[in-house]
Amino acid sequence: MNQPRLVGGRYQVIAQIGRGGMGVVWRARDTVIGREVAIKQVHLPANLSPDDHARLRERTLHEARVAVQVRHPAVVAIHDVVVEGSEPWIVMELVEGRSLDEVVKSGGPLSPEWAASIGLFVLSALAAAHTRGLLHRDVKPGNVLLAGDGRILLSDFGIATRAGGQPGGAPMGTPGFTAPEALTEEPGRVAGPAADLWSLGATIYTAVEGVPPFSRPTAMATHGAVMTEPPRPPQRAGALGPVLMRLLEKEPARRQDTVTLRAALQPLTGGTAATMPAGSHPTSWVLPKLPVYGSAAAVLAIFVTAVALILTST
């Protein structure tokens, strides 16, 4: 019988629980302190030269080690970073919950109040990262986690980068949730914090409308719509609609900044936030469960966050 793989001499791999473009996530057991954790095995591009591979690995490890120091209510704790078989492995808290993507697909669109409240949680997580010069680059409903204890967390900073950096190569992120400026390679035009806020706008839009603002049959067509077409006019968003339309502007300078966006979202929550205490977490960081979130038909899945490069509470 094959023995379970031991990563970093400490983490016993149990089973695969997720796979994405940037790697594989495993359920594992920390044999030193006896707790279950999630580990992301980060896959680096196979077509890199040995020197480029080494540089990207070191950059990934550096960003992940910064993330270990993160303590913010809207992110999941990063416990450890190890190298195994020349690949970075990110060890993090294992969280039970459902993604916003699952909630919308199984229960339908959320009310504008709920969507605005969730947006505020994600905004705070992004603001914390941006103050340290980090960009998420893949904000989308699938990376917003509604934990079983009522917390809202932004997950998977697996393709995070320094603001002002130029990763090069194919566009990163998810079609329909990646800002126009992140899809181009124009000299001197580099995606900054406004790109993450654009992605947040697309995420909130999807939560309240039930469909993404630029959904098309193919990834190429979706990218084209993001670059050249206006978003589908909101039908269900009410007063949240104008906020979302401004967030989805093509030009970064025309979007709200963090402070302006927070001020715009707060009056639209309808008092849905800050109502359920959850242990040691401040009540301002938890929400009561959504009706679809707590339904018997919705089986809780194990979700994990990858490299959560959120740094400080804001």
Catalytic residue among 30, 52, 80, 138: 138
CA 261, 178, 250, 184 torsion: positive or negative? positive
Distance CA 230, CA 225 (A): 7
Write phi, then psi, for 218 (nearest 5 degrees): -130, 160
> Cα angle vertex 227, ends 186, 199, to 5°?
95
Q: Which residue has the tokens 């909630």?
A: 103
Name the DSSP class of 285. G
* Structure-block tokens of residue 149: 């204890």
Burial status of residue 20 (CB atoms within 10 A of its CB: 0-12, 13-18, 19 or more): middle
Distance CA 42, CA 127 (A): 25
Active site residue 138: yes
DSSP string of 148-176?
TTSBEEE---TT-EETT----SSPPS-TT
Distance CA 271, CA 282 (A): 16
Is 40 annotated among the ligand-binding residues? yes
Binding residues: 40
Q: Which residues are catalytic?
A: 138
Binding residues for ATP: 40
